[in-house]
Amino acid sequence: MSPSGASQPRPSVGRAVHYVSHGTPVREDGSRAYTSVCRAATVTEVDPQDSDRVGLAVHNPGGTFFHPLAAGGCTHAAVDGEQPPAGGTWHWPEVV
């Protein structure tokens, strides 16, 4: 029952998406210094061979970081239920 079905638009340059930050490793007691969170991001380029892979400018609170296709870009991972998608992926912003 995910809203991210086959009707999703394809990404294009300038679209606003979410980038999932990499959290820090889980400690032995199960806690983490930083968990994975959604960050605002802008699509800067789209892989012509694979429109799920994009370059992003990620707008963190402390600065903007770039993930160009030349460095691998970011692949799409749908939000499905409670678990956040893997760090380093992008998705369409959740409707709240």
CA angle 85, 16, 46 (to 5 degrees): 80
When asked if residue 38 is in the footprint of Zn ion (CB under 5 A), the reply is yes
Query: Does position 18 bind Zn ion by CB under 5 A?
Result: yes
Beta carbon nearer to Zn ion, 23 or 29? 23
Q: At 84, is the secondary structure helix, strand, or coil?
A: coil
Does 40 contact Zn ion by CB under 5 A?
no
Distance, CA of 80 to CA of 78 (rounded, Å): 6
Determine, following the binding rule CB under 5 A, whether residue 67 of this chain makes contact with Zn ion: no
Q: Kindly list the residues in this chain that would bind Zn ion in the complex (CB under 5 A).
A: 18, 38, 94
